[in-house]
């Protein structure tokens, strides 16, 4: 899955909403306490299990809009959660945040922030009173999700505090790990925020291990900085993933790093420095553009020892 970018006007509007919350919280330093956010917004956090429908049935029965029952058949919300494998949801009636208790605990923080994002964006509320996955068009639903993801990232990483810390020293995967601890977010979400924050060509990947054969879709997320998306549109995640096996070995922590040459849409070759880290579940890769490659004249029969990817 590719990361998506918001139009600048939408991003500014959401930033203003996030800034108001952080200002009301007194300008907190990292890590942000989501409990204080819930207290400020008067939100109730509860947990459910898709196999235990008690709290979901109660929530569905209580969902009302303008005093009228929204769902004629409240069990539809349960059907939707199971059908679409929802991990969390925000219910405006009762101001509830619901998170699937069976999800790994490290992911709860992101799910909660994502639902807070839906909560604070005022134009989302009309869509949250019913079974949004069944009643919204796919394009509309995806746009709401991108907006909520953006809000969640700006909340959890305290808007520009993350960028200031990221750029205060050399950018590397060690820096990603350090910032993940400071902001108390997962390495995956920190990698995502890092790539999207940079104003030069950069990529991130969340994939299976480079030497794992069984995965039908080895790359789960292909993350691009805005400049990379604009200038390297023909570079595919599958091509980058196949390159990882050349320099990645081991099954713990840092498993490889190397320079990889990528050709941009204008045909110019650029050198990217790539690092991959194995966190026991996924291979996390950060790739940063170092410089354009100087033109070379190859001796006939001579082959470049590094693969040129397009």
pLDDT digits (tens, 9 = 90+) for 133-165: 444 566 787 899 999 999 999 999 999 999 999
pLDDT at 296 over 50: no
pLDDT digits (tens, 9 = 90+) for 98-111: 898 889 999 999 99
pLDDT at 304 over 50: no
Question: What is the C-alpha to C-alpha distance for residues 200 and 191, in angstroms, rounded to an integer?
Answer: 15
The yes/no answer on whether domain 8-156 falls in CATH 1.20.120.550 is: no
pLDDT at 306 over 70: no
**What are the residue ranges spanned by the domains of the chain?**
8-156, 169-309
pLDDT digits (tens, 9 = 90+) for 4-49: 999 999 999 999 999 999 999 999 999 999 999 999 999 999 888 7
Tell me if 8-156 shares its fold with 169-309: no
Residue 122 Ramachandran class (φ > 0 left, ψ -120 to 50 alpha, else beta): alpha
Q: Burial of 229 by CB count in 10 Å (0-12 exposed, 13-18 middle, 19+ buried)?
A: middle
Q: Identify each DSSP E strand in the chain by its residue range.
A: 44-48, 64-65, 68-69, 88-91, 96-100, 202-207, 219-224, 253-263, 269-278, 283-292, 308-309
Three-state SS at 185: coil
pLDDT at 63 over 90: no
pLDDT digits (tens, 9 = 90+) for 69-128: 444 445 556 666 666 667 888 878 778 898 988 899 999 999 999 999 999 999 988 776
Q: Which CATH class name applies to 169-309?
A: alpha beta
């Amino acid at each position: 899955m590719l990361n998506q970018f918001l139009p600048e006007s939408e991003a500014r509007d959401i930033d203003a909403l996030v800034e108001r919350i952080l200002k009301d919280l007194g300008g907190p330093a990292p890590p942000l306490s989501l409990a204080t956010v819930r207290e400020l917004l008067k939100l109730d956090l509860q947990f459910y299990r898709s196999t235990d429908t008690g709290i979901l049935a109660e929530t569905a029965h209580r969902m009302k809009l303008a005093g009228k029952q929204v769902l004629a058949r409240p069990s539809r919300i349960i059907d939707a959660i199971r059908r679409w494998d929802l991990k969390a949801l925000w219910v405006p009636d009762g101001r509830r945040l619901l998170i699937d208790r069976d999800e790994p605990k490290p992911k709860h923080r992101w799910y909660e922030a994502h639902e807070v994002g839906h909560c604070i964006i005022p134009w989302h509320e009309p869509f949250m009173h019913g079974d949004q996955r069944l009643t919204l068009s796919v394009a509309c639903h995806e746009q709401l999700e991108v907006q909520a993801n953006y809000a969640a990232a700006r909340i959890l990483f305290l808007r520009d505090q993350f960028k200031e810390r990221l750029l205060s020293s050399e950018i590397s995967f060690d820096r990603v790990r350090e910032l993940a601890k400071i902001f108390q977010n997962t390495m995956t979400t920190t990698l995502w925020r890092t790539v999207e924050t940079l104003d030069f060509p950069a990529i991130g990947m969340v994939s299976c291990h480079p030497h794992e054969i069984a995965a039908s879709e080895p790359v789960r997320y292909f993350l691009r900085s805005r400049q990379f998306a604009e200038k390297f549109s023909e570079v595919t995640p599958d091509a980058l993933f196949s390159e990882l096996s050349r320099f990645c070995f081991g099954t713990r922590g840092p498993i490889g790093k190397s320079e990889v040459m990528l050709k941009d849409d204008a045909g110019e070759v650029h050198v990217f420095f790539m690092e991959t880290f194995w966190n026991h579940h996924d291979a996390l890769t950060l790739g940063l553009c170092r410089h354009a490659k100087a033109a070379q004249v190859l001796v006939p029969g001579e082959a470049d020892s590094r693969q040129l990817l397009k």
